[in-house]
Amino acid sequence: MAQVTSFDSIQDHVSHVRQVFNIGKPRDLQWRKVQIQRMYDMVSENEDRLMQALKLDMNKPASEAMSGDIAPVLDECLYFLKNLDKLVQDEKVKPRSIANTMDKVIIRRVPLGVVLVLGSWNYPVQLALLPLIGAIAGGNSVILKLSEVASHTSAVITELFPKYMDTSCYRLVNGGVEQTTALLKERFDHIFYTGNGTVAKIIMAAAAKNLTPVTLELGGKSPAIIAPDADMQICANRIAFGKFYNSGQICIAVDYVLVPKSRLQEFITAFKKTLDSWYGPDPQKSDSFARIVNERHVDRLTGLLNNRTSGEIVIGGNIDKADRYFSPTVVADVKQDDPSLMGDEIFGPILPVLTYNDIDEAIALVNKREPPLALYVFSHKDKLIQKVLSNTQSGGVCVNDCLMHQAEYGIPFGGVGGSGMGNYHGKKSYNTFTHERSMLIKKQSMEGVNVAAKYPPYNQQKYNILRFVLVEHPYLLKLKSYKNPLKLLALCITIAFFLNKSK
């Protein structure tokens, strides 16, 4: 376990990285690229150690550790090494105002300053280092708070970090609630948090005292809607993957399933077949099924299962607290108002299954809740899929699969409403950790125009000039709408003129 950071050190860390930011070190483009390369080296050269730590923390299978923690970080580093030169280029803008026609109008993305990244325990490599990479790419100094829950992984990162990264620009903090509380008393220029809504409200309240913007990557009850026409075995395979990957400890895990009432038993049968083929008759003996991160969370999940007011356990329900094992569990015929299973996000391997009569009822059930971080819909019919998407809200969507949209780093990842605010990954990370600085660059010339129209003393003539320049006449707008036909007419007249002349 990494040594807990003292409160005095926390103040020193924040003060120091701000001083370094102010002298410009992390803003240097070449420096950013060097640090991103060092991050890549840190992870790639120590994959085995990181994967071993993830095994100790959650018994993560090697495939899940690679795909969920290691590969995303390496891929993000390579993206920025390839694209950062392009991302930092000024964006040239065509002036809208006639008054600025001769001037340079640009948007330049500049660093925010000192960024606080609060990592999460369920993916303690990806969810700590991925936003850190974006903040480095943006030219910021960073304080990174590692998760105390995934203690083995945090200890490895803490050991490796100073060997690879410049700790004058980027510093780590270890500890629990007390250290996080101390951090939130400091002033930052952006706070990036991955976790739950309860803590997010505390973070927003603390950030508001300094008018600090926040990015909140939360969760919610992400549904999987199985349409009446769907292939049930494929649905079972992909929903099982979306639920039991990392033993359900993932913010975009399928939190409940909506299945047509007439196909409930078919779904249960297909699901049992999937789990038997993946984990065998006893998933506890399988090396492909992860463990719950600690005994406290085992107790929490046990309470959710035992305190339910509806539903029947049709698969699983086995618990070994000493082994932190909670079996893949399916509860059928759960009611939508069950306060235990349908209250908050489950964040574990319990899958409630609800039934519906028609797709409008399924949509209504989803819309009774806060928008989830992810929505999954399974159907062959594009019209039905579009109906669901047009009448629901969610942070992201994956059609006919689960989780895979999060792994596509070419699109932004983030929530809406109760599932969070802001987004990141790739270019969106760069945008999140930079400010769009709008610039109008004029020359010290044509002062006579200012004297004639802009400067006091004002008179009717100056007013008329200003109005002509600043307010476009409706007739001009109408004329512009016929721009292409007028061009075509002019071309025809020109051709006719030359044809006539040649005769």
Residues catalogued as catalytic = 217, 251
Q: What is the maximal distance between C-alpha atoms in the chain?
A: 100
Q: How far apart are CA 22 and CA 4, in angstroms?
A: 28
Nearest to 144 by CA among 112, 110, 179, 103: 179
Measured CA to CA in angstroms, residue 312 lies from 268, 349, 361, 434 at distances of 12, 15, 22, 50
Please name the helix (run of DSSP H) or strand (run of DSSP E) that holds residue 332, with its range, or none. strand 329-332
End-to-end CA distance of the chain: 94
Q: From the CB of residue 263, how many other CB atoms can be counted at a distance below 10 Å?
A: 17
Measured CA to CA in angstroms, residue 260 lies from 228, 229, 476 at distances of 6, 10, 57
- The HSE-up count of residue 282 (CA atoms within 13 Å, CB side) is 4
Please name the helix (run of DSSP H) or strand (run of DSSP E) that holds residue 502, with its range, or none. helix 483-502
Q: From the CB of residue 23, how many other CB atoms can be counted at a distance below 10 Å?
A: 9
Three-state SS for 30-94 is HHHHHHHHHHHHHHHCCHHHHHHHHHHHHCCCHHHHHHHHHHHHHHHHHHHHHHHHHHCCCEECC
Give yes or no for a cis peptide into 457 (omega within 30° of 0): yes
Q: Which amino acid appears at position 493 of this protein?
A: I
Distance of CA 259 to the CA centre of its chain: 28
Nearest to 359 by CA among 265, 239, 260: 260
Residue 110's DSSP bridge partners are: 435
b/e sequence 59-95, b meaning 16+ C-beta within 10 Å: bbbbebbbebbbebbbebbebbbeebeebbeeeeeee
What's the DSSP call for residue 343?
S
Q: From the CB of residue 379, how many other CB atoms can be counted at a distance below 10 Å?
A: 22
Q: Using the Cα atoms of residue 248, residue 251, residue 253 and residue 257 in order, give the sign of their dihedral.
A: positive
